[in-house]
Amino acid sequence: MKKQSAVLVTGGAGYIGSHVVRQLAEVGERVIVLDNLSTGFAESVLHGDLIVGDTGDRDTVLAILREYRVDAVMHFAAHTVVPESVRDPLKYYGNNTSSTRNLLECCQEAGVKHFVFSSTAAVYGTPDGGLASEETPTRPINPYGRSKLMSEWMLHDLSQVTDLNYVTFRYFNVAGCDPYARIGQSTPNATLLIKVACETAIGKRAQLKIFGTDYPTPDGTGVRDFIHVEDLAEAHRLGLEYLRNGGDSSVFNCGYGHGYSVREVLDSVQRVTGKSLTIEEVARRPGDPPRLIADSGRLHQRLGWKPRYDDLDFIVETAWNWERRVSAPKSQGPWLAPVR
């Protein structure tokens, strides 16, 4: 009997990738995960086969594509911390750009037809008015955004001369965790605001910082479009379905189309957790735009995406329950009930 073709998920042991892996498996996909576990966790891979390795290792990648009859690749493996990219740009161009080139070359050689790419709203830089559609000019203001945009260009150019079709998803601010608390955001020294705030609420951090209180926004703090990781993962599943049904190569923004300021997010965390946060106000960080909101109409219209978790308190609640779970004694066992 012929083996079922597989989906290769690079970085599938990480925060976003692990949620996508779970959703793919739940609809019957055969999933292979490639992750070097530098920031991911083997225990987060709830389904499929986990292969520990790098996307920059050409022999490993090509062997996986051929052995498992991979017809689609979802590429999440990347460094994602904006301030770190400013301090160490070559790390980001090496992993995010050069390794992606290697992966694309392997896909071309193995005849992979479909590619789903994890990109970022950082490719827009500081758009006029703080609202970005897919047609907004790409003017990244940090190496992280530039490293991702270079990969977008490579993917586009390759698709012009081969039969590889792709979907690129430009993420805005991903947050929250699986409502059943099976997997979540566990990256050490995480920088995502809601994760940091929940760690502060539970006592893992003594305090948190607001970077910049003098932005031209209603309360002076940065405004971002926060999207629940489950809704983002669903967009990826729909994107793969779209490509397999003959959809043209496309770019999609992933966000809810409205934003919350840093102060509003911290108010929500204090409201949901019942904890008072110790907050220090400091200067702006380099590379942070004042406001960044998604125009995600294309995602709704072309993929039929219908988000389920567009609620700030719910996003925070799932992140908080994950933090409580990973901080609880092992004897308590897994949580079996959803958040709500």
Tokens of 328: 């609880």
Tokens 């400013």 -> residue = 86
Using CA atoms, how far apart are residues 316 and 273, in angstroms rounded to an integer?
9
Task: Specify whether the CB–CB gap between 13 and 50 falls below 8 A.
Answer: yes
Whole-angstrom CA distances from 122 to 131, 166, 254, 299, 305 are: 12, 20, 12, 18, 22
Q: Which backbone phi and psi does 138 adopt, to 5 degrees?
A: -90, 115
Which strand (E) or helix (H) includes residue 279? Answer: strand 279-282
- Please, what is the Cα angle at 314 between 311 and 316, to 5 degrees? 110
Using CA atoms, how far apart are residues 60 and 169, in angstroms rounded to an integer?
26
Task: Specify whether the CB–CB gap between 327 and 121 falls below 8 A.
Answer: no
According to DSSP, the β-strands at 260-261 and 223-224 are antiparallel
> How far is residue 39 CA from its own chain's centroid?
13
Task: Specify whether the CB–CB gap between 169 and 120 falls below 8 A.
Answer: no
Task: Specify whether the CB–CB gap between 287 and 147 falls below 8 A.
Answer: no
| Residues taking part in catalysis | 144
